[in-house]
Amino acid sequence: MSTRARLFLATLFGLAAGLSLSLAGRVLAARDSTTSSSRTAGSAAVPWDDARLLAEVIQRVRENYVDAVDDHKLMQNAIRGMVEALDDHSTFLSPDEFEDMKVSTTGAYAGIGVEVAPGKDGVSVVRRMPNSPAERAGIQTGDIIVTIDDIGVDPTDLEAAIARMRGPEGSPIHLAIRRTGSSALLDFKVDRAQVRLQSVAAEMLTPEYGYLRISSFTDTTAAELERAVERLEQHGNSARIKGFIIDLRNNPGGVLDSAVQIADDFLDQGIIVTAEGRAREAKFRMDAKPGDIAHGAALVLLVNGGSASASEILAAALHDNHRARLIGRRTYGKGSVQTIMPLSEGQALKITTSRYFTPSGASINGVGIVPDTVLEGTEQPPAEIDLVDRDPQVLLALQALSGHPGQIARGADASPPDAQAGARPGPQPALQPTLQPALQ
């Protein structure tokens, strides 16, 4: 056995011994408060056996796996596996993953300013941000990005394409794009710039009713929404807007404080959310303060199976306080809070620290929220333009507002969807690198 291998094994067994002694110490401390010393003594031997097994497995992998495995990578994967086995939302973040999460939380990054989705032979531009490098270069919605800096784009690896489009501010990027109506690929040279993610879109649907779409919850979302409401009120033709549609469809969540602030914006009083956890800071209750930026205007929220976490906190807070009516489909059902804990060398731990409860005291984890009006049939994606004409759910919400302004339906005639309709989607994207509790 080489000197390096012996050193590696010694380190592992040292780690195992330290872990065993630490866990045994906790077990022995607990023994003072229990009546069954034999049960505690028996459990004290388990951590040592498990730690020794871990060291043995790692060494067997190093010696026998078909390909050589880097020691650092092996240990990183062991850590990641341990954390991710806790639940669906806890994970170990590499430096790059931690930086990506910061982008989602702060709402700013250096790139070209497009949202993309897998497409044929590349990734498709589904949205171009206003005043972004992409818009200035002439890239259009619907364009297919085929190569980035002469490297082919794999539509099955969306994250890799996104990572290659980001980079230092001012640095150039070369894109080959396929556009409908053009037989040849189009070449674009785009200089990366600081891009501010806009998480709130707003427009007037009629002279009396406004529309607010929240795509995610970042550090700036509450301020964006407050400015949007003020802007709509200034441009509205009526003395005061009678109602707002707040669209939370496909909003995967984000920063806890942002969702709480928006709920507070529309509430004069009442519980917004409570949480329970083991650590002192994981137990909290958040209440609304007086002041309603909508001045009592009626609210209808649109939700679906992609509305998760922070979206559900906002929906439940407004619904349980009899401030809003919910229309759509059963929400995702994520009722836990994750805290981001920075580690050494730019890494971080995202770990579930709390379970939260709606103002009515319910846990929606794995259950979701059933709207007052449950929609059946195939769901169409939210429209980007001509909302009233092209988005039937927006039209339905508008009819609910204009037909009964200020009246909150309790959904007596709404039957819960069946188990298939309430099925939960896949894992949601990571969104919040913050030292305070965050959601996703």
**Residues labelled as active-site residues:** 309, 320, 334
Q: What is the CA 351 to chain-centroid distance, rounded?
A: 14
Q: Under 8 Å CB-to-CB from 9, ≥6 apart: which residues?
A: 1, 55, 59
HSE, side-chain direction, 13 A CA sphere, residue 282: 16
The C-alpha angle 379, 384, 390, rounded to 5 degrees, equals 55
If we measure between CA atoms, which residue out of 238, 235, 223, 358 comes closest to residue 293? 223
Tell me how far apart the alpha carbons of residues 366 and 348 are, in angstroms, rounded to a whole number: 26
Tell me how far apart the alpha carbons of residues 306 and 301 are, in angstroms, rounded to a whole number: 14
Burial class (CB in 10 A: 0-12, 13-18, 19+), 135: middle
Identify whether the C-beta of residue 166 lies closer than 8 Å to the C-beta of residue 192.
Answer: yes
DSSP letters for 268-318:
SSSEEEEEE-SSGGG-EEEEPPS--TTTT-EEEEEE-TT--THHHHHHHHH
243-247 and 209-214 as β-strands: parallel, antiparallel, unpaired? Answer: parallel
Tell me how far apart the alpha carbons of residues 21 and 23 are, in angstroms, rounded to a whole number: 6
Backbone φ and ψ of 359, nearest 5°: -55, -30
Q: Under 8 Å CB-to-CB from 399, ≥6 apart: which residues?
A: none
3-state secondary structure of 339: strand
